[in-house]
Amino acid sequence: MTKWIRWKGLIAFVLIVGLSAVFFIFYIDSLIKWSIEASGTRIVGAKVELGSAKFSFSPLGVQLRSLQVTNPDKPMENIVEISKIAFNMDSGNLLLRKVIIEEMTVDNVQLNTPRKKSGALKKKAEPAPAKKPDATAGGKKDEGFSLPGVELPNIDDIMAREKLKTPELAEQFKADTRKTKQEWDGISKQLPTQERMDSHKRRYDALRKVNTKDVKQVLAALEEAKSLKNDVNADIKAVKDAKNKVSEDVKRLKGQLKELKSSPKEEYNRLLNKYNLSEGGMGNISQLLFGDQAKQYTAIGLQWYKKLSPYLEKLTEEKEPEVVRQKGLDIRFPEKNPQPSFLIKTIHAGVTIPAGKFKGQILNISTEQDITRKPTTMKFSGDNMQHGMSLLLTGRFDHIKPSNPVDSLVFTMKNYKLDDHKLINSNDMRVTLKDARSDMEITAGRSKDQINANGKIHIHSIQYNNTAGGNTTAKLVLGAINQTRDFNIYGKLDGTLDNYSTKITSDLDERIKGNFKKQVNAEKEKYKQELKKRVDLAVKGSVDKAEKEFEDAKKSVEQDIDARKAKLEEQLASVQQRAQDYQNQSKAATQNKLKDKAKDSLKKLFGR
């Protein structure tokens, strides 16, 4: 029997086991560090680095320091950086290949921190870019921010291109005025001349020299006065006829002048109608402004959800295992005291973001909720953050029935300060929220394969730092945005994890559209004024000249006629008065004569 025993072998065994144990003790920290970095890198798809790992036997625990997880989409940025992670494990369960952590502390979690070196992985071969699901409703292609069309034609071009009718009308009017004036001149020549009126005066003066005591003379003067009166009346009628003719002409010409004067306005209206100042549709501004960002955040969120959700799910069916060396399938049997393979009962975490710190708890993280019968829940809150900011994040990931996972997440945040947040950065314009506050409320859920999310963000107390290029439309849009001091953004997501659609709406659309319309109207008004000024300038000289020519002609003929008429009417009045006097005197003389005759007859009769 002793022939088969090799006692030196016992020493060798003890040495091998002992050296292995020493190696394990000395290198366990490095092994943990390496395994976390390797598995983390595999899961994330970018470098996961750990400053140090420290393993302790009693109590059985691990302390990790300076964990950096690279953002796979931004290799110079860590998506998360954690100063310290510390936890103790249940050694008895560990022997049963179960990692049960009662309590884990995660200190100083920071998001989106810069990296000194790129965390990108060296790619073996450049794969063809996978077609990402279209995240916009209706599968519309994102064409970036495009300004709505607002056409304001160049006034110089219009004035050069368009023939104005007003100067032509003015020339026609002037010609008509001249022709009419010639007619008036002809009429004037037909009117009683000064000589004729002087002759009337001489005849009238002769009437005044009549001896009123001489009845014969009075009667003759009376006849002459009547004749003079008829002559003056005839002259006055001629003057009146002339005046009527002139009045008619003036009325006609005035009508034409009115038309001529209104012609610039008609010309201006015609040009406005022809060169219509159209404003293009503003479209869905919210989708343009925030659609990209929303898609990006949604894609990132779901990408991480998809990466992490397998760690909350138990395989619903026993799939064919990956049959490679050292692997296989662990068949499970009923346990007296069932425990999941992995469970963290409580995580206390403190997160630091630029706006301050918040902290919270995550409870019951396990791959086998059907065993723990408890969903993973979390609650994070921060109240006394900078600028009065507060936030609350609650979540519940119920995978107790692996075939029917139900997840929900509610995030509310108040007074989040936005500093120099770029909304638009295009060639035409740059819109930056220099200072603004936002209140946010997002709810998200998953039931089986269906996912949905609703969000509302109220951006308020906005101060802009905006610039626009020379483009008129850009200036108008910018003016509209500048007047918008608060707005709401609404987001909606529906679908499955691999095929979902997002829709972003906002009352910003209406507000900007309203303000944009005001801006466009103001600009239109300015444009109209300028066009009117230019049309007026182009036609005013000819219209004014035509008007002046008409007024001069009218004034001249009217003055002439009125003067003649006045003189004749004066003469008529005098002659009428003189004729009346002579008629009265003639009547009185006749009465006296009759009276004397009567006296004489009476004397003869009574013989005195």
Partner 1 sequence: MLDPLLKLIKALNSETEPGQMSLALAFSMIAGFTPFFSVHNILILFLVLILRVNFSAYLAGLAMFSVLAFALDPWFHKLGHFVLTMDSLKGMWTTMYNTTLWRVENFSNTIVMGSLLVSLLLFIPVHLLGKWLINRYRDTVVVFISKTRAVKFLKATKIYSLYDRVSG
CB 32, min distance to partner 1, A: 16
In whole angstroms, how far apart are CA 391 and each of 300, 301, 354, 408? 21, 18, 13, 17
Does 38 bind partner 1 (CB under 8 A)? Our answer is no
Q: Which residues contact 573 (CB under 8 A, 6 or more apart)?
A: none
Residue type, 557: V
**Which of the residues 42 through 101 are near partner 1 (CB under 8 A)?**
92, 95-97
List the structure tokens of 158: 């219009």
CB 104, min distance to partner 1, A: 24
List the structure tokens of 133: 């699901």
Does 19 bind partner 1 (CB under 8 A)? Our answer is no
- For every residue of 465-513, DSSP letters joined together read --EE-S-HHHHHHHHHHHT---EEEEEEEEEESSSEEEEEEETHHHHHH
Does 326 bind partner 1 (CB under 8 A)? Our answer is yes
Closer Cβ to partner 1, 132 or 327, answer by number:
327
Strand-pair category, 429-447 with 450-464: antiparallel
Residue choice 18, 328, 514, 541 for contact with partner 1 (CB under 8 A) = 328
Does 208 bind partner 1 (CB under 8 A)? Our answer is no
Peptide bond into 75 cis (omega under 30): no
Closer Cβ to partner 1, 175 or 329, answer by number:
329
Only segment of 321-329, 375-383, 563-571, 588-596 that touches partner 1 (CB under 8 A): 321-329
Q: Kindly state the DSSP code that residue 317 receives in the 8-state scheme.
A: S
Closer Cβ to partner 1, 9 or 129, answer by number:
9
Residue choice 114, 129, 334, 470 for contact with partner 1 (CB under 8 A) = 334
For residues 217 and 163, is the Cβ–Cβ distance under 8 A?
Answer: no
List the structure tokens of 476: 């108008």
Only segment of 62-70, 329-337, 411-419, 480-488 that touches partner 1 (CB under 8 A): 329-337
Does 329 bind partner 1 (CB under 8 A)? Our answer is yes
CB 97, min distance to partner 1, A: 7
DSSP, collapsed to helix, strand or coil, labels residue 123 as coil
Alpha helical stretches, state H, 45-165: 91-95, 155-161
How far apart CA 15 and CA 22 sit, in angstroms, is 10
Does 10 bind partner 1 (CB under 8 A)? Our answer is yes
Kindly provide the b/e burial profile for residues 258-279, where b requires at least 16 CB atoms within 10 angstroms of the residue's own CB: eebbebbeebbeebbeebeeeb
Residue choice 161, 332, 460, 485 for contact with partner 1 (CB under 8 A) = 332
Does 1 bind partner 1 (CB under 8 A)? Our answer is no
Closer Cβ to partner 1, 160 or 324, answer by number:
324
How far apart CA 123 and CA 71 sit, in angstroms, is 16
Residue choice 333, 420, 427, 606 for contact with partner 1 (CB under 8 A) = 333
Only segment of 165-173, 330-338, 565-573, 576-584 that touches partner 1 (CB under 8 A): 330-338
Closer Cβ to partner 1, 57 or 333, answer by number:
333
CB 287, min distance to partner 1, A: 52
Does 323 bind partner 1 (CB under 8 A)? Our answer is yes
Only segment of 38-46, 126-134, 263-271, 324-332 that touches partner 1 (CB under 8 A): 324-332
Does 125 bind partner 1 (CB under 8 A)? Our answer is no
How far apart CA 96 and CA 123 sit, in angstroms, is 38
Closest residue by Cα to residue 67 from 37, 102, 25: 37
Does 324 bind partner 1 (CB under 8 A)? Our answer is yes
Peptide bond into 321 cis (omega under 30): no
List the structure tokens of 517: 């319309």
In whole angstroms, how far apart are CA 588 and each of 209, 211, 471? 19, 14, 99
In whole angstroms, how far apart are CA 326 and each of 40, 63, 330, 469? 21, 28, 12, 65
Does 4 bind partner 1 (CB under 8 A)? Our answer is yes
Closest residue by Cα to residue 67 from 56, 53, 54, 83: 83
CB 366, min distance to partner 1, A: 19
Residue choice 12, 175, 206, 537 for contact with partner 1 (CB under 8 A) = 12
CB 362, min distance to partner 1, A: 28
Does 18 bind partner 1 (CB under 8 A)? Our answer is no
Dihedral pair phi/psi, residue 200, rounded to 5°: -60, -40
Only segment of 326-334, 487-495, 502-510, 538-546 that touches partner 1 (CB under 8 A): 326-334
Closest residue by Cα to residue 572 from 243, 247, 239, 246: 239
CB 96, min distance to partner 1, A: 5
**Which of the residues 339 through 358 are near partner 1 (CB under 8 A)?**
none
Count of residues interacting with partner 1 (CB under 8 A): 30
Does 388 bind partner 1 (CB under 8 A)? Our answer is no
> How far from each other are the two terminal CA atoms of the chain, in whole angstroms?
222
Residues near partner 1 (CB under 8 A) are: 3-7, 9-10, 12-13, 16-17, 92, 95-97, 321, 323-336
